[in-house]
Amino acid sequence: MSTAGNRTFAIIKPDAVRAGNIGNIIQRINDHGFKIRAMKLMHMTREVAGGFYAVHRERPFFGELVDFMTSGPCVVLALEKDNAVQAWRDLMGPTDSTKAPKGTIRGDFGTSVGENASHGSDSEENAKIELSYFFNATEFC
């Protein structure tokens, strides 16, 4: 039987990259026992960001979300751990950074609901879809 945990998809968003927090967030990923299975720095085009967030296309904040996600480079990652989806969501804290407790990634590095430093998949099914949106099979270690 495999001892590997399951995987989630994570983004260190452009606000956190701009603020110099890639290292701080990766330190937390390590400290909380996630294995990084894939990782790259990328600057999303509007097409890539819009496709990724297509489920939010009808929301009033969609344009703002695409503007922000294309405003600078981000880091996309595949994280592995038991119950990776929930464990990463717990480490990030709630979506709205102003409501996220200190000690969570969004509480410490985010500034608003839009500029919230990080993304994580909301289910194992979406994790698989999101991982394959950004990574080829050959990019996983």
Active site residues: 119
Output 64 or 139, the one with its CB closest to ligand CMP. Answer: 64
Q: Which stretch binds ligand CMP (CB under 6 A): 16-24, 25-33, 98-106, 114-122?
A: 114-122
Distance CA 69, CA 53 (A): 10
Residue of 30, 43, 61, 123 interacting with ligand CMP (CB under 6 A) = 61
Tell me, by CB under 6 A, how many residues bind ligand CMP.
Answer: 9
Distance CA 73, CA 18 (A): 8
* DSSP helix/strand/coil, 85: helix
Q: Which stretch binds ligand CMP (CB under 6 A): 28-36, 38-46, 112-120, 127-135?
A: 112-120
Q: Which stretch binds ligand CMP (CB under 6 A): 2-10, 14-22, 25-33, 110-118?
A: 110-118
SS3 content of the chain, % helix, strand, coil (to 5): 45, 20, 35
Output 4 or 42, the one with its CB closest to ligand CMP. Answer: 42
Q: Are 97 and 20 in contact (CB under 8 A)?
A: no
- Sites for ligand CMP among residues 70-109 (CB under 6 A): 95
Kindly provide the b/e burial profile for residues 7-24, where b requires at least 16 CB atoms within 10 angstroms of the residue's own CB. bbbbbbbbbbbeeebeee
Write out the residues near ligand CMP by the rule CB under 6 A. Answer: 56, 61, 64-65, 95, 113-114, 116, 119
